Amino acid sequence: MNRKTLFFCSLAPIAALVAGCAGYGSASGTSSSAGSSYGTHAAAPAKAADGVLAGANGMTLYVFDRDAAGSGKSVCNGPCAANWPPLAAAAADAASGDWSVVTRDDGTRQWAYKGRPLYYWAKDAKPGDKTGDGVNGVWHAATP
């Protein structure tokens, strides 16, 4: 596999459908690079960075106290979601281990960790910012 193919296969959530992506489409659903199964998602939708969960873009992820853990629902919609954009899940992404997917009021899908929907904070400017932690006493940086 050449570097260009590897690059696109590692970024595309639907890489399982693309011929030539090593490890995708196997019976176990695992990727040889990630070593674990997340449906067609090549790796976990977020990673631990500096003690918190961060999206693929390096931006801190947050949880909302008003979301009931394990309810399969997000209560941050409309203007709330404009300030706290959800960590989007593609239609083909599937739950695995501590990761689950909730369907939002608008029909879009969002990743949840240990049953808690995950969000970005619109006012974080760069990877590593944690300015949303503690906002209104109900927003907290998500921890692994």
pLDDT of residue 83: 98
pLDDT of residue 68: 95
Element (H, E) at 46: strand 46-49
- 45 within 8 A of 55, measured Cβ to Cβ: yes
Q: If you search the block for the tokens 């029909």, which residue do you land on?
A: 107
**Taking the mean position of all CA atoms in its chain, how far away is CA 93?**
10
The answer, as to whether pTM is greater than 0.95, is: no
pLDDT of residue 44: 87
125: tokens are: 């400017």
> Going residue by residue through the chain (144 aa), what tens digit of pLDDT does each one get?
333 333 333 333 323 322 332 332 323 333 333 333 333 444 789 999 999 999 999 999 999 999 999 999 999 999 999 999 999 999 999 999 999 999 999 999 999 999 999 999 999 999 999 999 999 999 999 999
The alpha helices in the chain, defined as continuous H runs, are: 3-11, 79-83
